[in-house]
Amino acid sequence: MSTKQRGIGTNTYERILMGPGAVYTGADQASLLGATMGGNVMEITRTFRDIRPDGAQGPVKGFRSIEEVDAVLTVRLLEVTEQALVYALAGSSLSSNVITGGEIANSTYLAAVSIIAEMTGATTEGRGSIAIELSNVLVEGPMTINLPENGETAIELKFRAHYDVAALTTEPWKISFTHVA
Amino acid sequence: MADVQVSLLTYLYNLLTTNTALKTAMGGAVRCYPVSAPPDSAFPYLVHRIDAGPPGGIWPERNSTYQLDVWSQDPAAHDITAIRNRLVLILDELVFNTTDVKNVRPELQTDGFITENDVRQPGSAMNIWHYALQFNLPYYRQTETVAILAR
């Protein structure tokens, strides 16, 4: 067999992630957030403590442990709704089409935010997917609306997951496959 | 194992010629020819072809173009625009697989009337209209890839 395979196998076509994905809020992907532009980015950063006993010349097996977990979904939202802006300004509230600021309460946290990314070719005319869900989510960072001289604008939202105080060892994210070949 | 072109055009031919709404728009039957139509073909009819483009992200992927031409004879081009509408609704943003080709995704890029240099002038006494649609057609050539890996 040739050595020019570059990792491609007979089932590669079924295992390719495609497109920007769709973002949902709520448990079980209850509500579609809206159209995005410029793609979405999911980052789960797991920082490991690196204990170096005397004599170690590099990382040592058994001496690593999780120090911090940070899961962030960055979305560039093209479709602007009142509800999305309430999410963007954590703690704010909406009344009679007017959004005003407020403190962050437990009810401010979104129970879940998910991105569903399409996985190709699982079945004829079917689409597999990967769902990445964050738990106890707040949007952090400034809400910036750039209004260009011409053309449309996208608002960037950074959804950050949070541990549940009642489950401090359960990382606030999960990844679910469907249609895996 | 069928050739990629044969596999794609066969699928698209079957898709178009069995679509009930398209049949209605085309007067009861969908006539669809590869590359060019036979002389004196009855109107309306379709002509389709695929121009394979360069590889996509990895070598089994290709970025190709699906060219679909509609020819119709009617006084005011109503029929041809109805056919165009049905074709877009059938094909645009579709995802399909065949035995030999996977992850095929037609995406409409351009479409419009074509002015012919011969007697088939739009709006002429012959009332013959030509409408061209061009789709991007990325796909993954599956059976070719398996055969290449095994050689």
Q: Give the domains, in start order, of chain B with CATH numbers.
A: 4-150 (3.30.2000)
Amino acid occupying residue B115: T
Q: Cα separation of B47 and B140, whole Å?
A: 24
Quick one: which of B151, B141, B150, B148 has its CA closest to B3?
B141
pTM score of the predicted model: 0.85
Tens-digit pLDDT profile for residues B46-71: 999 999 988 888 999 999 999 999 99
Q: Decide if A8 and B96 are in contact by the 8 Å CB cutoff.
A: no
Q: Tell me the per-residue pLDDT of A45-81, one tens digit each, with 9 for 90 and over.
A: 999 999 999 999 999 999 999 999 999 999 999 999 9
**Top-tier CATH class for A15-178:** mainly beta
Which chain B residue has its CA at the smallest distance from A123's CA? B97
Q: Where are the domains of chain A?
A: 15-178
Give, for all 181 residues of chain A, the pLDDT tens digit: 455 557 898 888 888 888 889 999 998 878 999 999 999 999 999 999 999 999 999 999 999 999 999 999 999 999 999 999 999 999 999 999 999 999 999 999 999 999 999 887 655 444 578 899 999 999 998 999 999 999 999 999 999 999 999 999 999 999 998 764 4
Write out chain A residues lying below 8 Å of B58, CB-based: 6, 8, 12
Nearest by CB to residue B146, choosing from A10, A16, A18, is: A10
Portion of chain A with pLDDT greater than 90, in percent:
75
**Residue partners of A45: CB distance under 8 A and separation at least 6:** A68, A69, A70, A71, A72
Q: Which of A1, A9, A13 is nearest residue B102 as measured by Cβ atoms?
A: A13
Q: Is the ipTM of this complex over 0.85?
A: no
Cis peptide bond prior to B44, omega within 30° of 0: yes
Question: Across the interface, do A2 and B148 touch by the CB < 8 Å criterion?
Answer: yes
pLDDT at B125 over 70: no
A174 CB near a chain B CB, below 8 Å? Answer: no
